[in-house]
């Protein structure tokens, strides 16, 4: 008797099994590549990518891992400006300004504080007394001031 048997469906489609395995390997490879890509993106940016389905329906932002380990930013340190104490008025400077004013060298308010106008007045006094014009009081300038106060300043009479 001649019996012809047909192979069982498992034997009949070895190509299907092979194709199924190939598809499974391809899917696994794609998923693995996506996982690696996600890991790279997550590792470089510090935030996890949002899947497209969740991005459209998400109403509350998801916390990122960086939020759990945040470090307060370091604020730049601004060096303190040196505090210059206010200059106290001096009785000697007040007297000098008054005396220079009597000779018409100083025409500003008498403050008792050495200022640019006082220095300029001293320079003019030194010029008229034929002294080096330093703008500072010294022995020679004090003598010239005393002389001009006692005798008047002939230079100013012009």
For the stretch 14-39, what's the b/e string if a residue is b when 16 or more beta carbons lie within 10 angstroms of its beta carbon? Answer: eeeeeeeeeeeeeeeeeeeeeeeeee
Q: Are 66 and 46 in contact (CB under 8 A)?
A: yes
DSSP 81: P
In the prediction, which pLDDT does 21 show?
67
Query: Is 58 contained in some domain?
Result: no
Query: Is 99 contained in some domain?
Result: yes
My answer on whether 97 and 153 are in the same domain is yes
Query: Is 22 contained in some domain?
Result: yes
Q: Could you tell me the pLDDT band of residue 35, with boundaries at 50, 70 and 90? A: low
CA dihedral 133, 102, 92, 146 (to 10 degrees): 60
pLDDT at 99 over 60: yes
How far apart are the C-alpha atoms of 101 and 95, rounded to whole Å? 10
Q: 44-91, pLDDT tens digit by residue?
A: 555 555 555 554 555 566 655 555 566 777 878 777 788 888 889 999
Query: Is 68 contained in some domain?
Result: no
- CA 48 to chain centroid: 32
In the prediction, which pLDDT does 113 show?
95
Q: Could you tell me the pLDDT band of residue 154, with boundaries at 50, 70 and 90? A: low
Query: Is 120 contained in some domain?
Result: yes
Q: pTM for the complete prediction?
A: 0.47
CATH code of 131's domain: 1.10.101
In the prediction, which pLDDT does 73 show?
78
Mean pLDDT across the stretch 87-110?
A: 94
In the prediction, which pLDDT does 61 show?
62
In the prediction, which pLDDT does 158 show?
45
Query: Is 101 contained in some domain?
Result: yes
How far apart are the C-alpha atoms of 92 and 90, rounded to whole Å? 5
Query: Is 74 contained in some domain?
Result: no
CA–CA–CA angle 22, 18, 7 (5° rounding) = 160
Count of domains observed in the chain? 2
In the prediction, which pLDDT does 141 show?
97
How far apart are the C-alpha atoms of 134 and 123, rounded to whole Å? 6
| Structural domain containing residue 97 | 91-157
Q: Are 135 and 120 in contact (CB under 8 A)?
A: yes
How far apart are the C-alpha atoms of 91 and 87, rounded to whole Å? 13
Return the percentage of the chain with pLDDT > 70, whole number: 53
pLDDT at 119 over 70: yes
């Amino acid at each position: 008797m001649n019996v012809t048997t047909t192979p069982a469906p498992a034997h009949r489609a070895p190509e299907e099994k092979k194709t199924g395995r190939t598809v499974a390997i391809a899917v696994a490879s794609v998923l693995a590549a996506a996982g690696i890509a996600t890991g790279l993106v997550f590792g470089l940016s510090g935030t996890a990518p949002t899947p497209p389905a969740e991005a459209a329906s998400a109403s509350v932002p998801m916390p990122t891992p960086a939020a759990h380990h945040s470090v307060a930013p370091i604020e730049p340190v601004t060096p303190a400006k040196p505090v210059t104490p206010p200059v106290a008025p001096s009785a000697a400077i007040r007297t000098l300004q008054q005396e220079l004013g009597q000779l018409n060298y100083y025409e500003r308010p008498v403050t008792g504080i050495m200022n640019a106008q006082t220095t300029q007045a001293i320079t003019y006094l030194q010029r008229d007394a034929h002294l080096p014009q330093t703008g500072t009081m010294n022995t020679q300038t004090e003598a010239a001031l005393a002389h001009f106060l006692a005798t008047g300043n002939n230079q100013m009479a012009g």
